[in-house]
Amino acid sequence: MSSKNGLFSTIGKDLPASIVVALVALPLCLGIALASGAPLFSGLIAGIVGGIVVGILSKSQLSVSGPAAGLTVIVLGAIESLPSWEIFLLAVLLSGVIQAGLFFTRSGTLSEFVPNSVITGMLAAIGLILILKQIPYAVGYEGDFEGSLSFLQPDGLNTLSALFYSVWDFFLVGPMIIAIVSLIFLFWWDAKRPSEGPLRLLPGPLVVVIFGVVANAIFMAVVPAWAIGGDHLVQVPVAETLIGFTQQFSTPDFSAIGMADVWVVAFTLAIVASLESLLCVKAVDEIDPQRRTTDKNYELLAQGGGNIVSGFIGGLPLTSVIVRSSANVSAGAMTKMSAILHGFWLLLSVLLIPAVLNLIPLAALAAILIQVGYKLNNPALYKQRWKQGWHQFVPFVATVAAILLTDLLTGIIIGLAIGFVFVVARNFRTAITKTNDGDLYLVSARRSLYFIHKYELQKSLSEIPDNAIVVINLNRADFVDPDNIEIINSFVKNARFRDIDVSVRHDSDHLANSGLEAPLRKVNYA
């Protein structure tokens, strides 16, 4: 919203939503940094920059950026292969420059060609993975880093085996009590939250976090065996002084700008981060209650700006992240002010109250993410796709399964491959009609003719007998693929040897300059 009235008309929803997103983002930033082999504080830097810098630059109203689980393998490998952390930061900064350069090539428009069945499949898969990955945290078992979306885990288990192991062979009473009570409250609060009065602004997840801290304090005092500690609490790096806080920031080593390995990492990060961001932003547009459309090309510039800043001050590479963005939508955000404010809350909290943040049980945060996951993976979504037919349902389910059993990027690529097969099949309907009245044959295009219609056009023309009069009607074809133009031209050249009289009817400027060799005549056939 550009006006003050517009801003203040939504701040009542954006403010509480920003608190929810900050609570969700905090452990994800730390978990992804840990899995990437990077300093924990670098994950928080990326989260702060993703909120404030990308939030300001982006034209997306609801997407939220930060360090992404999809980059952990790349980042881990790059940190291990490059000589120093500062040189890796240079690669992050350069990846942002490359992303900004992609803006000028209008590469962002490529995301518009992703089938909706794949996008909704991605959302449902993320929801399902959130539920499966957070249940172990809810019962006190930590077998994978917070924010992981991969099926295979570093501990040798996978998403499903870790789930069964945590539920049947390993659980703690304290985390389980906090998670169950929190989940019950969150679903009740969504249904019963008052529509008027100050309580309507109270974020349910904030209540859950406070409850988790208080409940754990009671456990420690009354039932020590149920108390939660160690790895099952948020672990924000704590600086004793302001100087100590500032020393957690780093700057790139620009002397390594001529290293080939730095540029390889930079291009890899730029390409993968851009792909993930574009898909995420498109997915967020799908779940935006107002169905606003984001300028995907401009998003590359925003993400590039974020990575330039993040790399310059010691942060991980960032992307638009579907988990944070989904939490933002679920919390009722209306504009990008929520994303921007969440960045400020992260900054202020790690600066002023890191010790308080370290009292938050991961089980409470797990309950929040499980609820977000349920909203993304609502059974009604499956019913909707089923009613739309196999061409929508199969790519949707295939994308869900592929992401669940591999990881986000691999699963999306598999989903895209399957989705495009069905897109081609759906568009490979009859495009050519052929009728005749004695020796007069009318061959009509029902719509534009693309490469996939070559066989159909070739077959229709090959069935024309000698000594015929043929009218090829292209009035409904705004575009004819050059391969189809060649088929028509070949038929025209052959027609003179078969005593076939050919003419083409069309009213498209494109076709007038397309290289058609058939004579153009005014023929009164539709």
Q: What is the mean pLDDT of residues 319-327?
A: 96
- pLDDT, position 492: 87
- Locate 110 and state its tokens: 């490529």
For residue range 274-312, what is the model confidence (pLDDT) as tens digits? Answer: 999 999 999 999 899 998 989 999 999 999 999 999 999
Asked if 492 and 464 touch (Cβ cutoff 8 Å), the reply is no
pLDDT for the residue 524 = 41
Q: Strand, coil or helix: what is 23?
A: helix
Out of 6-10, 93-97, 483-487, 502-506, least confident range = 6-10
Supply φ then ψ for residue 395, to 5 degrees. Answer: -60, -35
Nearest CA among 426, 424, 461, 467 for reference residue 445: 461
**Whole-number Cα distances in Å, 348 to 22, 167, 342, 345, 391:** 11, 36, 10, 5, 48
Q: What is the pLDDT of residues 200-229, one digit of tens each?
A: 889 999 999 999 999 999 999 999 999 998
CB 269, CB 93: distance < 8 Å: no
Over range 480-496, report the average pLDDT: 88
Residue whose entry in the numeric block shows the structure tokens 């349910």: 204
Instruction: Give whole-number Cα distances, 392 to 293, 388, 421, in Å.
Output: 22, 6, 11
Look at residue 243 and tell me whether its pLDDT is greater than 50. Answer: yes
pLDDT digits (tens, 9 = 90+) for 81-93: 999 999 999 999 9
Domain 432-512 maps to which CATH number in 3.40.1190.20, 3.40.50.10490, 3.30.750.24, 3.40.50.2300?
A: 3.30.750.24
Measured CA to CA, the distance from residue 326 to residue 373 in angstroms comes to: 9
pLDDT reading at 68 higher than 90:
yes
Q: How much is the pLDDT for 116?
A: 87
pLDDT at 420 over 90: no
Average pLDDT of 463-467? Answer: 94
pLDDT at 470 over 50: yes
Measure the CA–CA gap between 85 and 411, rounded to whole angstroms.
Answer: 30
Over residues 138-158, the mean pLDDT reads 88
Query: Residue 513: its pLDDT value, please?
Result: 64
* pLDDT at residue 521 tops 80: no
Predicted local confidence at residue 3, as pLDDT:
40
Angle, helices 204-222 vs 362-376, to 10°: value is 150
List, for residues 69-80, the tens digit of each pLDDT value: 999 999 999 999
Share of the chain above pLDDT 90, in %: 71
Would you list the domain boundaries of the chain? 4-146+154-415, 432-512
Q: What is the percent of the chain where pLDDT is above 70?
A: 94
Amino acid at 453: H
**Residue 511 above 80 pLDDT?**
no
Q: Is the pLDDT of residue 2 over 50?
A: no
Whole-number pLDDT of residue 199: 86
Query: What is the pLDDT at residue 143?
Result: 75
pLDDT, residue 262, reads 98
58 residue type, one letter:
S
- Low-confidence winner among 359-373, 432-446, 511-525 (lowest mean pLDDT): 511-525
E strands within 257-315?
A: none
Rounded Cα distance, 377 and 120, in Å: 9
How high is the mean pLDDT of the chain?
A: 91
Instruction: Indicate whether 7 pLDDT > 60.
Output: no
